[in-house]
Chain A
């Protein structure tokens, strides 16, 4: 929630103000596209702990947060990251070692949970998942659910269709709403008040933002409000939802940002290689995350030639013929 005041601040201030230890958080994007990576790395640098993270398929960012030990609870649909990591590596390790508590849902179910949160409803129904272990097996214990008032008492509920088989449905699953303390989204364009425009797929970012108590927007371009107000129908999140706006060019790097730059296949596959070994991963964090003061320093380390190579082609919105082997 935000007023019409200007909200531009630097990233470390936005993170320290709105991301506290133990807070409930969601990040935008999907696997290797438009993850708010600058913000993710800043959360890691600030050594945030015990985050309860809500994710549909937010691959790159969520895996880094888990790897750095920032996450203790995770509601998730998909911990994979395309070719570089069919199963996210630190996510897999954390679950196999019992280091985080987790609850499995599907992508649609997580999207509906954010949607319910954005709509102020306690739950949303779907026909997806009936008869599966997503319904039958619960990750969080009943005791934990009873103790923690920020977690609903049930993972989900199956009810008979109260409208006597209307639309051919005998039963539906009800999924509890999510209202994160903070959602962080990286967008192509925002103004200083927080109105923003995403280009290409919006994934579930709009619902995640509107469900959250606070929204941090990072943007590749900070534009004049008039630019966005000229075609308001192309804007998804108006300023009233937003608490902080941070101008971060290449803020989704190493993930992609449609019409701006592609994902960095080299970075992603190298990070996956490091992630497979605890010692190498620690060295990776020390060098690429903790070893830099901010996102710009990471970009400087990569070098302008490498970044120029990722620049989106004006016609296609991605880096045509990029070496992605």
Chain B
């Protein structure tokens, strides 16, 4: 079965979503993963946008979380205050899984989406937190999309925009944050997870055709590869639904 890397990443992330999860979606591939999960493996998952739309009827792919396409057929359209309160509130927040992207991630899953280089006069400025810091602060589970490149997996992030496990075990608790932190980092080469005890990133699975060594070569810090297995590529059914129902216009795929 032929599939693209983008399709592989989308399906790997979609499989992280459980039926009944409330899925906080960003734009691009994260939105695609949420929609794929709903069509494939988690029909009762609920898409949820920081702009305030809950359980949108997504007939077309939104290009931004403010796209009118997220407003159509939603259970409710409110605003930012309501959306973030839904995540800060433990009654609902504990059911939310976040999907985030970033420019850098460190071994504790801390994310940088603000800038590279000096904060005041950066080499490269990125958009900033948006709702990412809020989601990462509030919800118990997060999927992170990354490209596997050395500079994107540094020993230390240039700016800590969104909290992972901060400085390791009990890091979040010491800072006053709710329990949580990233559960999976889905890249163009592999899926990384975090050790229950040390909270350090490890290699969980690598894509067919990629070796664990290649993955290590694309990271500044080293990770445990002893638990790694080859990832199961997208099935025919997963691909068919992804291509024909999720993004037939090929806007993101």
Checking A34, A126, A318 against B88 with a beta-carbon cut-off of 8 angstroms, the contacting residue is A126
Q: Cβ of B137: which chain A residues have Cβ within 8 Å of it?
A: 127-130, 132
Cα–Cα, bound, A107→B120 (Å) = 20
Contacts A96-B122, A133-B114, A258-B71: A83 and B160 contacting too (C-beta < 8 A)?
no
For chain A, residues 310 to 325, give those with C-beta under 8 angstroms from any C-beta of chain B.
312, 316-318, 320-321, 324-325
Checking A30, A109, A133 against B66 with a beta-carbon cut-off of 8 angstroms, the contacting residue is A30
Cα–Cα, bound, A30→B53 (Å) = 13
Instruction: List the one stretch of B125-133, B144-152, B215-223 in contact with chain A.
Output: B125-133
A112 contacts chain B at the CB level, 8 A cutoff: yes
B161 contacts chain A at the CB level, 8 A cutoff: yes
Q: Cβ of B231: which chain A residues have Cβ within 8 Å of it?
A: none
CB distance from B48 to the nearest CB of A (A): 13
Cα–Cα, bound, A126→B176 (Å) = 11
B60 contacts chain A at the CB level, 8 A cutoff: yes
CB pair A137 B159 closer than 8 Å: yes
Specify the chain B residue showing the minimal Cβ separation from A115. B81
For chain B, residues 40 to 87, give those with C-beta under 8 angstroms from any C-beta of chain A.
50-53, 59-60, 63-72, 77-81, 84
Specify the chain B residue showing the minimal Cβ separation from A258. B68
Contacts A78-B128, A104-B129, A204-B81: A131 and B166 contacting too (C-beta < 8 A)?
yes
Specify the chain A residue showing the minimal Cβ separation from B85. A108
CB pair A129 B133 closer than 8 Å: yes
The interface centre, meaning the residue of A29, A30, A76, A92 with most chain B CB atoms within 10 A of its CB, is A30
Q: Cβ of B119: which chain A residues have Cβ within 8 Å of it?
A: 133, 137, 139
Instruction: List the one stretch of A19-27, A164-172, A240-248 in contact with chain B.
Output: A164-172
CB distance from B5 to the nearest CB of A (A): 18
The interface centre, meaning the residue of A132, A137, A206, A324 with most chain B CB atoms within 10 A of its CB, is A132
CB pair A57 B81 closer than 8 Å: no
Instruction: List the one stretch of A148-156, A195-203, A213-221 in contact with chain B.
Output: A195-203
Q: Cβ of B243: which chain A residues have Cβ within 8 Å of it?
A: none
A95 contacts chain B at the CB level, 8 A cutoff: yes
Q: Cβ of A57: which chain B residues have Cβ within 8 Å of it?
A: 66, 130
CB pair A82 B63 closer than 8 Å: yes
CB distance from A200 to the nearest CB of B (A): 4
A56 contacts chain B at the CB level, 8 A cutoff: yes
CB distance from A223 to the nearest CB of B (A): 20
CB pair B81 A77 closer than 8 Å: no
Cα–Cα, bound, A187→B138 (Å) = 31
B172 contacts chain A at the CB level, 8 A cutoff: yes
Q: Cβ of A78: which chain B residues have Cβ within 8 Å of it?
A: 127-131
Mark each residue of chain A from 128 to 163: 1 if its CB lies under 8 Å from any CB of chain B, else 0. Answer: 111111101101000000000000000000100000
CB pair A132 B121 closer than 8 Å: no
- A: number of interface residues (CB 8 Å): 74
Contacts A128-B133, A128-B137: A318 and B68 contacting too (C-beta < 8 A)?
yes
Total A-B Cβ pairs within 8 A: 219
B6 contacts chain A at the CB level, 8 A cutoff: no
Q: Cβ of B69: which chain A residues have Cβ within 8 Å of it?
A: 316, 318
Q: Cβ of A139: which chain B residues have Cβ within 8 Å of it?
A: 119-120
Specify the chain A residue showing the minimal Cβ separation from B62. A82
Q: Cβ of A88: which chain B residues have Cβ within 8 Å of it?
A: 127
Cα–Cα, bound, A59→B63 (Å) = 13
Cα–Cα, bound, A305→B131 (Å) = 37
CB distance from A252 to the nearest CB of B (A): 11
Contacts A87-B126, A318-B69: A106 and B64 contacting too (C-beta < 8 A)?
no
A42 contacts chain B at the CB level, 8 A cutoff: no
The interface centre, meaning the residue of A32, A76, A262 with most chain B CB atoms within 10 A of its CB, is A32
CB pair A316 B133 closer than 8 Å: no
B251 contacts chain A at the CB level, 8 A cutoff: yes
A64 contacts chain B at the CB level, 8 A cutoff: no
Checking A95, A104, A133, A204 against B80 with a beta-carbon cut-off of 8 angstroms, the contacting residue is A204
Checking B71, B79, B127, B171 against A79 with a beta-carbon cut-off of 8 angstroms, the contacting residue is B127
B123 contacts chain A at the CB level, 8 A cutoff: yes
A80 contacts chain B at the CB level, 8 A cutoff: yes
Cα–Cα, bound, A172→B176 (Å) = 8
Checking B63, B122, B129, B163 against A107 with a beta-carbon cut-off of 8 angstroms, the contacting residue is B129
CB pair A256 B68 closer than 8 Å: yes
The interface centre, meaning the residue of A59, A108, A206, A207 with most chain B CB atoms within 10 A of its CB, is A108
CB pair A82 B64 closer than 8 Å: yes
CB distance from A193 to the nearest CB of B (A): 23
A239 contacts chain B at the CB level, 8 A cutoff: no
Q: Cβ of B138: which chain A residues have Cβ within 8 Å of it?
A: 127-128
CB pair A201 B127 closer than 8 Å: no
Q: Cβ of B63: which chain A residues have Cβ within 8 Å of it?
A: 32, 82-84, 263, 265, 324
19 contacting pairs across A/B (C-beta < 8 A): A76-B128, A77-B129, A81-B64, A82-B67, A83-B27, A83-B63, A83-B64, A86-B28, A96-B123, A109-B134, A111-B79, A129-B163, A132-B137, A132-B162, A133-B119, A133-B161, A137-B119, A202-B52, A316-B72
